[in-house]
Amino acid sequence: MNLLSKHAFAGWRNRPALINSLSFLLGLCLVFAYAPFSVWPLTFIILCLWFYIIADSPLKQATQAGFSFGLGWFGAGISWVYVSIDKFGGLPVVVSLLLMLLLFSYLALYPALTCYLSAKLSRNNRLQLWLLPSMWLFTEYLRSVVLTGFPWLSIGYSQIDSPLSAFAPIIGETGVTLIILCFVVCINQLIKGNAVKWHLFSIASLLLTTIIVHKLHWLTPTHKILKTALIQGNIAQDMKWAPEHEWPTMKAYLDLTRVNYDADLIIWPESAIPRLEPLAQEFIDLADRAALVNNTSIITGVQSYHFNTKEYFNSLVVLGKQAANDTESHYSMYNQDRYYKHHLLPIGEFVPFQQWLRPIAPLFNLPMSSFSRGNYIQPNLVANGVHILPLICFEIAFPEQLRANFSNSTQLLLTVSNDGWFGDSHGPHQHLEIAQMRALEFGRPLLRDTNNGVTAVVDAQGQIINQLPQFKQAVLRTNVALVTGRTPFSRYGHWPSTILASLLLVAYFIRHRRVQTKADVEI
């Protein structure tokens, strides 16, 4: 293989255009590792190839290759964003495409920074593979917090069905990402013939650890079964906020619910009630009384408004029974058994610099795009005696927010969404894949209710046990087995993976110093 690399690939180091083109192509192909394609081995194949062609690249070339890879990675992976911009943005096609290119280019800066740092911190300003895993985790952290964060398509999500998923309850999706990167680096070092015994030992240790981890159990069944009914209204997005469709929409949810009152818990999706809460009191009171009389609870999305502060919130409220033995309603517009969305989506739920952007195009003036932010930590919802940790839409991509609100009493995870903005694209499937990872990390069943799909129920091991087809008005009935116990990730979050990445970085510099000292002595 060394002979092959010396001859067949020797020209790569002097052909940056070829490296950039291959990097872009490999980044494009990475989309097939994620849902709905879910070919998880592709992650290893693509990264192995990419690491091989960029290893030892000089600083500038490495940075360009990182940007090219990121442009392909996000260009294909989040191309579904174009559906909403094209259909609801009200912009010319050329402008829409330029906005997409701007978004892809921004996200591509993070893998470019990964490669830049991996070369800049090396002894000779050439990209060193063993610096990549630590730098990758650092830049992925930046991607999750800068400009409110967009941690979509992290590579650990592609492993929800792979053997490495067993590590998620211990070190989370971020830790799975670190393992993938280290494995790929070891493979590349073996191909190059570097420290063969050490890298073979590392791979063997990882495989053995994976087998051991699969035998660990963090959860205990409670033998309590919860009967759930998730309502998928399938209301067309362009009709949802039209005044003439308000009552037909609400009636549709009530009709679908009426034949499912035997469920312990009934879920309506994000913004299921297309009126501000103060204006929908008659309907909400009707649904609240009906749930109480039928010995059940309804959790619904609604847009709340506070008269005293003049603030709007994207919220979830509990109707009907709160405690298991309730005989009276606890609902009011200001009751505590509700959740206000914290992590708002830029443009969709709040518009930065709105005084300048809103007049430009409908894209910056979408319905319900002036929300206020709820508190980062809020009490779990209590519905029919079940303690539920809720997240709305995009928030499911932020595990630290979930961990901050997770407690020993949490029995169920809930995420509601309206992916009608993205049509028949791979976006909703990726969204569900992220939700699966959260269920696995925290060891709790998860309900995901959406307006038009993908509505699904996920067990505490992150596996889908039931789901509805998209674009169909239907009800998903599922018996959910509740569990107790805490996963290590629910307790310690990203600290273990951060420590591992830091130790890896320290080990690299210690080894580099020893090599440098030995070279100086020989001179």
Q: How far apart are CA 91 and CA 109, in angstroms?
A: 26
Q: Looking at 341, 395, 433, 441, which residue is catalytic?
A: 341
Cβ–Cβ under 8 Å, residues 143 and 153 = no
SS3 string, 238-255, reads HHHCCHHHHHHHHHHHHH
What value, to the nearest 5°, has the Cα angle with vertex 499 and ends 497 and 505? 105
Give the span between the Cα atoms of 300 and 392, in whole angstroms.
11
Q: Which positions ≥6 away from 369 have C-beta within 8 Å? A: 347, 348, 349, 350, 351
Alpha-carbon gap, residue 383 to 139, rounded angstroms: 39
Residue 52 · residue 188 · CB < 8 Å: yes
Beta bridge partner(s), residue 458: 446, 464
For the chain, helix, strand, coil in percent to 5 are 55, 15, 30
Q: How many Å apart are CA 197 and CA 175, to the nearest integer? A: 25
User: Does 311 participate in catalysis according to the annotation?
Assistant: no
What is the residue type of 388?
A: I
Strand partners of residue 457? 447, 466
CA dist., res. 509 & res. 88, Å (int): 51
CA-CA distance, 37 to 289, in Å (whole number)? 44
Tell me if 420 sits within 8 A of 367, measured CB to CB.
no
Instruction: Yes or no: say if 116 and 59 are a contact pair by the CB < 8 Å rule.
Output: yes
Provide the 10 A C-beta neighbour count for residue 272: 25
- Looking at 331-428, which runs of residues are DSSP E strands? 338-340, 381-383, 386-392, 412-417
Give the contacts of 260 (CB within 8 A, at least 6 positions apart): 229, 231, 266, 475, 477
Q: Catalytic: which of 115, 182, 186, 393?
A: 393
Active site residue 518: no
Buried b (16+ CB within 10 A) or exposed e, 335-371: eebbbbbbbbbebbbbbeeeeeebeebebbbbeebeb
Angle at 283 between CA 422 and CA 376, to 5 degrees: 55
Q: Are 113 and 66 in contact (CB under 8 A)?
A: yes
274-293 CB burial, b ≥16 within 10 A, e <16: bbebeebeebbeebbebbbe
CA atoms of 379 and 373, how far apart (whole Å)? 15
**CA–CA gap between residue 41 and residue 37 (Å, rounded):** 11
224 is catalytic: no
DSSP letter assigned to residue 362 = G
Active-site residue among 270, 349, 433, 441? 270
Q: At residue 236, what are phi and psi to the nearest 5 degrees?
A: -60, 135
Which positions are catalytic? 270, 341, 393
